[in-house]
Amino acid sequence: MTDHILRETLQLVADGELAEEAARSVRLHLKTCESCRKVYQSLAQFDRLMRFVPVRSLPRDFTAGVLSRLGIQPRPPFLFRVLEHFASLVAVILVAAMGGSVWALLSLQLGHDAGSQSMSQFQPLEVVGVWMETSWDEFAGWMQHALLLLPQGQASKIFLMIILTAFVVAVIDWIVQRRGAAGRS
Amino acid sequence: MDAEHETIRRIVGGDSRQYGVLVDRYKDRAFALASRLLGSREEAEEAVQDAFVKAFHRLADFRGDSRFGTWYYRILYNICMTRVSRRPAGSLSLDDMTSTEGELAVESNEPDSLEVISSNERREILGEELQKLPQKFQAVLTLFYIQEQRYEEIAAILEIPLNTVKSHLFRARGLLRKRIQDRYNEGMRAA
């Protein structure tokens, strides 16, 4: 007559709570004893079901509520952060373009550009106009140069520009998050 | 150091926003435990939130020799028990309902109803019957199956001996099976 294994012991095996050596000998027994195997299968089936008992979810804004109680500003959604960084990126490009144009205008004023007019010949508003026009020309020139470096074909250019922008935005986001963390610590 | 302990290190270091990561990870399972212990959705939500707030303030004391979940569930369990103890006498005393039905079911020779009922129906019935079990049984079953805690961790959370965890789990399963079997039999008789 075969000695059967206690249901409690089989349950410990199903729960992964029996010492490995003992569990191995139980598994060996299960290969040869149909009665114990049936009990074990029934326990395992119950366990599988229990792991899928429906769990109710908390409201979506629960985490924000906890952070708010702790006085912690929740991290803005990713899309919002992307837009924020994209705006920062555009601002940086514009400032750089303006810087370049100021440098160009200064060169103009100093008469480095042979045959050009002196700044002193312009009225203040005209100076701003020339400055903006030059800025735009500089920026457009850079963009043209950049586009020439990209593969031919409109679609691939647009695709590459999106990838590059996403990369730059992700890098900015990473830097901002790291700086934020360092600033708070 | 695993990712969770690294997150905790960063929070303690001042990166408080990272706490949202931990809250997101544990909130639903914590809510399942609190719902089982308190029986009310609103009260369970409040208890989970209170526990997260308390855990945040004590995070520097978290030594990292257990999982954050185990440590957090211990706080949550205490908060739930405090709430239960403040209730008027007689409003919830599920522990008094403990019976030996579970042990009887273990010896039952009736066909296993779980094999007969469809899987969706089984889950629904299990969920309903789990809700009706004595509170201590609900706690061990929820901690084991939903929070995926090991016996030792459950013992630490509930502050009970390891053997009591084993016996509670065994009896809880038996009782649950018995109740499902009874429901199935009633359904068969009615049909």
> Which has more pLDDT, B77 or A50?
B77
C-alpha distances out from residue B20 to A25, A63, B11, B39, Å: 45, 6, 10, 26
Average pLDDT over residues B5-21: 89
**CB burial string A43-82: b at 16+ within 10 A, e below:** beebeebbeebeeeebeeebbbbbbeeeebeebeeeeebb
Give this prediction's pTM: 0.61
Contact B166 A8 (CB under 8 A): yes
pLDDT value at position A91?
80
- The CA-to-CA distance between both ends of chain A, in Å, stands at 69
Confidence check: pLDDT of B76 > 90: yes
What's the fold here for domain B1-88?
A: Rna Polymerase Sigma Factor; Chain: A (1.10.1740)
Poorest-confidence range of A41-45, A156-160, B106-110, B166-170? Answer: B106-110
d(CA B112, CA A50): 15
In this prediction, residue B188 has a pLDDT band, given cuts at 50, 70 and 90, of: confident
What are the sequence ranges of the domains in chain B?
A: 1-88, 133-191
Fold agreement between B1-88 and B133-191: no
Confidence check: pLDDT of B101 > 60: no
CATH code reported for the domain at B133-191: 1.10.10.10
Contact A58 B48 (CB under 8 A): yes
The pair of structure tokens assigned to B79 is 């908060």
For the residues of chain B, what is the DSSP string, one character each?
A: --HHHHHHHHHHTT-GGGHHHHHHHHHHHHHHHHHHHH--HHHHHHHHHHHHHHHHHTGGG--SSS-HHHHHHHHHHHHHHHHHHHSPTTS--GGGG--SHHHHHHT--S--HHHHS-HHHHHHHHHHHHHHS-HHHHHHHIIIIIS---HHHHHHHHT--HHHHHHHHHHHHHHHHHHHHHHHHHHHHH-
A-chain residue closest to B111, CA distance: A42
Q: How large is the ipTM? A: 0.73
pLDDT value at position B104?
37
State pLDDT tens for residues B110-162.
445 555 555 667 777 788 888 888 888 989 998 998 888 999 999 999 999 99
Average pLDDT over residues A128-141: 73
CB-nearest partner of B112 from A42, A75, A181: A42
* Rg, C-alpha atoms of chain B: 19
| Number of neighbouring beta carbons within 10 Å of residue A128 | 11
In this prediction, residue B71 has a pLDDT band, given cuts at 50, 70 and 90, of: very high
A77 interfaces chain B, CB cutoff of 8 Å:
no
pLDDT value at position B94?
40
CB-nearest partner of A49 from B32, B123, B146: B123
State pLDDT tens for residues A12-33.
998 889 999 999 999 999 999 9
The pair of structure tokens assigned to B64 is 């990292």
Poorest-confidence range of A101-110, A124-133, B75-84, B154-163? Answer: A101-110
pLDDT value at position B103?
38
Which positions in chain A touch B177 (Cβ < 8 Å)? 46
In this prediction, residue A123 has a pLDDT band, given cuts at 50, 70 and 90, of: low
d(CA B84, CA B57): 23
CB A175 within 8 A of CB A168: no
Poorest-confidence range of A43-57, A108-122, B138-152, B171-185? Answer: A108-122
